[in-house]
Amino acid sequence: MIASHYAEPVERQIAGTAALKARPCEDSETVGEMAAGDRFEMLDDSLGWAWGYAGASRRVGYVHSSAIAGH
């Protein structure tokens, strides 16, 4: 699945280290780690989790909304 086919992403940055999760919950598998300043292409932000893709590989996942800079 290519997430960019469903919604127009909004470019954001990660405020500090953050786990990129497979699902929007703490006990979900971590599919990547993000560092402060990393770019995050946000597709949705609801219920405390932001969904989008990150990095050159455009890995799709969820981060805590609080991890988004300026949130």
Domain-wise residue ranges, the chain: 3-67
Residues 6+ apart with CB under 8 A from 4: 41, 43, 53, 58
pTM for this entry: 0.85
Residue 1 has pLDDT above 70, yes or no: no
Mean pLDDT score of the chain: 90
pLDDT value of residue 11: 94
Confidence of residue 3 (pLDDT cuts 50, 70, 90): low
For the stretch 23-35, pLDDT in tens is 999 999 999 999 9
3-67: CATH homologous superfamily?
A: SH3 Domains (2.30.30.40)
How confident is the model over 4-23, as a mean pLDDT?
A: 87
pLDDT value of residue 55: 77
